[in-house]
Amino acid sequence: MPQKMAEKEEQGGAGVVVVDPKPSKGFTSKVVDWLEKLIVKLMYDSSQPLHYLSGNFAPVRDETPPCKNLPVIGYLPECLNGEFVRVGPNPKFSPVAGYHWFDGDGMIHGLHIKDGKATYVSRYVRTSRLKQEEYFGGAKFMRIGDLKGLFGLLMVNMQMLRAKLKILDVSYGTGTGNTALVYHHGKLLALSEADKPYVLKVLEDGDLQTLGMLDYDKRLTHSFTAHPKVDPFTGEMFTFGYSHTPPYITYRVISKDGFMHEPVPITISDPIMMHDFAITENYAIFMDLPLYFRPKEMVKEKKLIFTFDATKKARFGVLPRYAKNELHIKWFELPNCFIFHNANAWEEEDEVVLITCRLENPDLDLVGGDVKEKLENFGNELYEMRFNMKTGIASQRKLSASSVDFPRVNESYTGRKQRYVYGTILDSIAKVTGIIKFDLHAEPDSGKSKLEVGGNVQGIFDLGVGRFGSEAVFVLVSPVSPLKKMMAT
């Protein structure tokens, strides 16, 4: 491990590693570049559309330093004092060949609000990957959009060759920090599930600075989900990582003081994509869903490296959340599905309840290539799932029409029963056209074939023609501690 990697950033505190990769230019690098260009020319179909590099998904290459005193139409509520931050994929350099929505360098957009005034800023997450591509002046790392067919296998080997020849430095990982953000133990973390977290600092003027990578004093040696859960009552953070080699799932608990406890491997039969999980007051819920990592099928059938198997059941594992091993995990089966995002989970007597967005027959090609403007066969619906810890019986019921995803709740109820869910309305795979509010105390209107007010749908906010947004974030009018909140209800 390089000496630089062991250095700690004073501003970031313990466990924050200064990211200082050492890539190498020269004759060897140029030969490998030439070989890659030859492979792309002979094997890549350049006529394939790159949907997520066009339209409102087109990259914005330049950062925006703090832009103060933005015009305000109406007024900003007094309760909004702080910085709203969001992250998403925004490739700084054009891809060599393919591109998938999951690729792209992480760019943080910040809206700093104070005393009725607003400042906007955008900054890249300064990952090892980004720093090295800036050094070369172009894309060098493998993209998910390349991982299809024999061409995908060759592109994997190109990255392995660059790493072996020390053209690229992969000692800090290869992640993008482009998927989600979480705040824990005084640190704002940028996350992508194939890597470790990056620590960000919000400056007084609203500007954003990447401090380094968080390895929890070298206790984190595997990937880290983009959707960890922070318990508002205990201050702890619960997380996991998934891998293509055993153990395929590793569960971790992080104390409110930022100490990462020992890993708990979770045994499943095959490597999968597990994008999210959930917690309750006493349990953690893992999802063994049949979206498998299958490189052989990628080559033989010219598919993406993750393949959905519609013949397999959906499995949910409920583990006591402070378990030291997996001996007490209970597995439940439900009909075949995939889940990208959960809303929340809690306990009711003998049952563990999961509120989630359930998807049938996902095809990640739809998220990478020529996708239709309107959703037709990508049904994503809000569901309630129940797991009876005594009887071992699982059940589910549909709570909405299609298509809903990116559900959020008042996070002061994370892991506890809550009433409202705020989802996004999707018009195409990743275009959010509005926000929808569900009342879980109301019965869904099973007769509705589209999303509209009535039944358990309490309200819909349409963003308007040609406007697209992201998931909602719940902000309290006045901060109330979780304990007081619990006592009040």
Q: If you average pLDDT over residues 145-156, what whole number do you get?
A: 92
8 A C-beta contact, residue 414 and residue 230: yes
Percentage of the chain lying above the pLDDT 90 cut: 74
Any idea which residue has 């406890």 for tokens? 261
Question: What integer pLDDT is reported at residue 483 of this predicted model?
Answer: 38
Count of helix runs (H) and strand runs (E) in the chain: 6, 27
DSSP assignment string, 354-418: EEEEEESS--GGGGTSS--SS-SS--EEEEEEEEETTT--EEEEE---S-EEEEE--GGGTTS--
Question: What integer pLDDT is reported at residue 5 of this predicted model?
Answer: 34
8 A C-beta contact, residue 397 and residue 81: no
Q: pLDDT of 215-243, one tens digit each?
A: 999 999 999 999 999 999 999 999 999 99
Question: What integer pLDDT is reported at residue 477 of this predicted model?
Answer: 81
3-20-8 Cα angle (round to 5): 60
Question: What integer pLDDT is reported at residue 14 of this predicted model?
Answer: 63
Q: Of the segments 142-151, 325-334, 449-458, which one has the largest average pLDDT value? A: 325-334
**Confidence class of residue 485 from pLDDT cuts 50, 70 and 90?**
very low
- Measured in whole angstroms, how far is the alpha carbon of residue 404 from the centre of its chain? 16
**H helices present in 111-193, as ranges:** 128-136, 149-164
Q: pLDDT of 327-384, one tens digit each?
A: 999 999 999 999 999 999 999 999 999 999 999 888 766 554 444 455 455 678 999 9
Torsion angle in degrees (nearest 10) through CA of 413, 228, 290, 354: -10
Question: What integer pLDDT is reported at residue 472 of this predicted model?
Answer: 86
Tokens representing 285 are 């819920």
**H helices present in 254-354, as ranges:** 295-301
Pair type for strands 198-202 and 380-388 = unpaired
Q: If you average pLDDT over residues 451-458, what whole number do you get?
A: 94
3-state secondary structure of 56: helix
- For the chain, the average pLDDT equals 90
Question: What integer pLDDT is reported at residue 13 of this predicted model?
Answer: 55
The pTM assigned to this predicted structure is 0.92
Q: For residue 436, is pLDDT > 50?
A: yes
**Confidence class of residue 49 from pLDDT cuts 50, 70 and 90?**
confident
Contacts of 487 (CB under 8 A, 6+ apart): none
Strand boundaries in 185-329, DSSP class E: 187-191, 198-202, 208-214, 229-230, 237-242, 249-254, 264-266, 278-279, 283-288, 291-293, 306-308, 314-320
Q: If you average pLDDT over residues 128-151, what whole number do you get?
A: 95
**Confidence class of residue 12 from pLDDT cuts 50, 70 and 90?**
very low
Tokens representing 436 are 């929808």
Query: Burial letters for 294-327: b for 16+ Cβ neighbours within 10 Å, e otherwise?
Result: bbebbbeeebbbbbbeeebebbbbbbebebeebe
Q: pLDDT of 375-418, one tens digit each?
A: 455 678 999 999 999 999 999 999 998 889 999 999 999 999 99
Q: If you average pLDDT over residues 201-216, what whole number do you get?
A: 96
Q: How far is residue 115's CA from residue 78's CA, in Å, rounded to a whole number?
A: 7
Q: For residue 133, is pLDDT > 70?
A: yes
Question: What integer pLDDT is reported at residue 3 of this predicted model?
Answer: 33
106: burial class by Cβ within 10 Å (0-12, 13-18, 19+)? buried
Q: How far is residue 461's CA from residue 470's CA, in Å, rounded to a whole number?
A: 12
Question: Residue 473 — φ and ψ, nearest 5°?
Answer: -120, 125
**Confidence class of residue 482 from pLDDT cuts 50, 70 and 90?**
very low
